[in-house]
Structure 1
Amino acid sequence: MPVKVYGAAMSTATVLVLLCLEEMGAEYELVPIDFSTGEHKSPPHVARNPFGQVPAFEDGDLMLFESRAISRYVLRKYKSSGPDLLREGSLEESAMVDVWLEVEAQQYDEAISAIYIETVIKPVFFGGVPDEKVVAESAEKLGKVLDVYEARLSKSKYLAGDFLSFADLSHIPYTHHIVAGPQASLFESRPHVKAWWESLASRPAYKNVTTGTPTS
């Protein structure tokens, strides 16, 4: 029986879970949650995710929420049928995956999510105008983070080493949107970062999940 993901195509957290499912070749059903009607705050959905957010994940009697936790569950459940993205068979490699997952969560996410909110969420969903001051400040922060990435990726093909990992996938949901806008130059101007992103964007899982997802 396919697992169920309750979420929305424009939700970066939902996209992360779908990427992991696609990478592992797992069967799943995406159950759309309509934010415009407030469905995410409805009693049935709050029963799945008590914070009224997406995604929620159902595997038989098991119900999970929080995208990073769901993703780890997926990568462990289907580890025999897809790439080893957590590298838990090696203490050193799994530690490097954890390091770059933390970098994404603590450094990368703060800067890039602010740009995403201003340049995608505000105009697309609320008809608003981006706060250019916030965009500029966040782009400067992101540039400094990407300088660290450029140095790292000059030594290895991917962030945790010369192997694809969950640390790399975790960057896709926001980056997919930002590289389609004016801030794409932040990635294109750094050759190793550019090559890394192009490698991620060429993967079938990326194409399957993001095809048809508006970027602006």
Structure 2
Amino acid sequence: MVVQVYGKAQAVCPQRVMHCLVELGLPFELVHVDIDAMEHKLPEYLEKQTLNSFIVSFPCFSPSDRFLTSPMATSISSWMDVEAINYNPWAFPVVFNLLVLPLRGAPGDREAAAAAVEEMSRVLEVYEKQLSKSKYLAGDEFTLADLTHIPATRYVVELCGGAHIFEGKERVKAWWEDITGRPAWKKVISFVESGKSSYSP
């Protein structure tokens, strides 16, 4: 049975899921959900979520050890929390004000976006220190801790003029170039741009 991914191809969360599946060499079908029309809040969509909960595994995408236990899993979980609590809340207003609202024909708050970019830059100073200790956030293997940062950061850097968040952070910049240069991520971008609804390795 092919995995079904529900969402909009351009949205951050579906891109995370698709990237994970491509890294693992798994085919999937993208079932379009119009989030702009709030389809994801309709009863028939919410029914697909079991008590609105989910199970998270921690793949490191290594052929020899794909699913890890502590302490590696603890580190991955911690950095995913950092992304969710300290990083993404600043990335969101940048993308929303400089990309999403203009696409909808509405003016974005550029001052709020600029302030959020500066906060992102400050958070990345912590990343710079961590990346002086290991190649990736949770260790020397690429994991979900790294993957989860890619979609939103790409929008900030490539489409919202926020590339300067890497200035003065050589390790962060090298890490970013590494994780976005992965073949799997390039395949995700190609898939999104193609408008297709199914992916096969």
Shorter-chain TM-score range: 0.7 to 0.9
TM-aligned CA deviation for residue 212 of structure 1 = 6.3
1:98 counterpart residue number:
77
What do residues 69-127 of structure 1 show as CA deviations (whole Å, max 9, x unaligned)? 46x25x67xx8985756522xx2222211221111111111111111111111112x21
Identity %: 36
Answer whether contact 2:61 2:143 (CA < 8 A) is retained.
no
2:24 counterpart residue number:
24
Letter of the structure 1 residue corresponding to residue 76 of structure 2: V
Letter of the structure 1 residue corresponding to residue 130 of structure 2: R
Answer whether contact 1:160 1:167 (CA < 8 A) is retained.
yes
Letter of the structure 2 residue corresponding to residue 210 of structure 1: I
Gaps of 5+ in 2: 194-201
2:95 and 2:147 map into 1 onto residues whose CA distance is 17
Gaps of 5+ in 1: 50-62
TM-score (norm. length: structure 2): 0.83
2:182 counterpart residue number:
203
- Residues 38 and 105 (structure 1), Cα distance of their counterparts in 2 relative to 1, 3 Å cut: closer
Matches within 5 A, 1:1-150: 1-49=1-49, 69=54, 72-73=56-57, 84=65, 87-88=68-69, 91-124=70-103, 126-150=104-128
Which SS does the other structure have where 1:179 is aligned?
Answer: helix
2:154 to 176, 181, 184: 176
2:198 counterpart residue number:
none
Answer whether contact 1:7 1:14 (CA < 8 A) is retained.
yes
Which SS does the other structure have where 2:4 is aligned?
Answer: strand
TM-aligned CA deviation for residue 188 of structure 1 = 4.5
What do residues 131-176 of structure 1 show as CA deviations (whole Å, max 9, x unaligned)? 1221122112111101111111122110011111110011012011
Aligned positions, number: 192
Answer whether contact 1:25 1:82 (CA < 8 A) is retained.
no
2:112 and 2:64 map into 1 onto residues whose CA distance is 38
What do residues 30-75 of structure 1 show as CA deviations (whole Å, max 9, x unaligned)? 11112455533444323224xxxxxxxxxxxxx6966xx46x25x6
Answer whether contact 1:84 1:165 (CA < 8 A) is retained.
no
2:131 counterpart residue number:
153
RMSD: 2.6
- Residues 94 and 208 (structure 1), Cα distance of their counterparts in 2 relative to 1, 3 Å cut: same
TM-score (norm. length: structure 1): 0.78
